[in-house]
Amino acid sequence: AQSVAQPEDQVNVAEGNPLTVKCTYSVSGNPYLFWYVQYPNRGLQFLLKYITGDNLVKGSYGFEAEFNKSQTSFHLKKPSALVSDSALYFCAVSPMNRDDKIIFGKGTRLHILP
């Protein structure tokens, strides 16, 4: 069965420090991986994706993620956190043969402390 795990319910980071939000996945075949962000009372916004190619993926708002096949991980990173990055972050995976279906992780709340 396909699944996505986000082991941290909440991550606290001081403004200006680097941040990491963790994600591991389990899927048969090559995965399609995504990060989405959700601000309060809003829909989800697409941040970045890994489909194939370079393991380091760059996305919106200075975020990047590294695909690690051996560790089945796709951690989200940013070199210098902003208070405005505080939000709920979802990792998601799409099975290779089902591009119309996304499985979301439970979400990680990111708090950036001023």
Q: How far is the CB of 52 from another protein (least distance, A)?
A: 10
Q: List, in order, residues 6 or more apart from 18 with CB less than 8 Å away.
A: 77, 78, 79, 80, 81
Q: How far is the CB of 112 from another protein (least distance, A)?
A: 18
* CA dihedral of 1, 106, 6, 27, whole degrees rounded to 10: 20
* CB nearer another protein, residue 39 or residue 68: 39
Q: How far is the CB of 47 from another protein (least distance, A)?
A: 9
Residues making contact with another protein (CB under 8 A): 32, 34, 36, 41-46, 49, 51, 88, 90, 94, 99-102, 104-107, 109
